[in-house]
Amino acid sequence: MNLAVIKFSSEECGICHKMSFYDQKVAEELGLQFIDVKMQDTATYRKYRKILLTQYPDKSEMGWPTYILCDSPEGEFQIIGEVKGGHPKGEFRNRLQEVLASAANQN
């Protein structure tokens, strides 16, 4: 599996900015690729838009930020789970681990 965490966020989001101090580090510590997608970065957004719209067809239920855990984000992707909103570092790590454990139990 080629698991990645894709962070969908906005440059104007204070919580998104605060989490950027540790979210990539936590993802990488868990052996996950980290992809940062700012909604204002149209080239990067277009590349991963299909993944976001698969999970949120009209974007109405998204959190800021939204982290989508995905297998093979560059190809025939499969969404494993998500973490929405801002969390302290330890809680963010726990939530990612819960998604990973849930995915492992389904296999």
Reported pTM: 0.94
pLDDT digits (tens, 9 = 90+) for 27-61: 999 999 999 999 999 999 999 999 999 999 998 88
Residue 31 zone, left/alpha/beta (φ > 0; ψ -120 to 50; rest): left
Q: Using an 8 Å Cβ cutoff, are 36 and 23 in contact?
A: no
Domain boundaries, the chain: 1-103
Name the CATH architecture for the domain at 1-103.
3-Layer(aba) Sandwich (3.40)
For residue 107, what pLDDT band results from cuts at 50, 70 and 90?
Answer: low
Query: Of 77, 83, 84, 78, whose CA–CA distance to 99 is shortest?
Result: 83
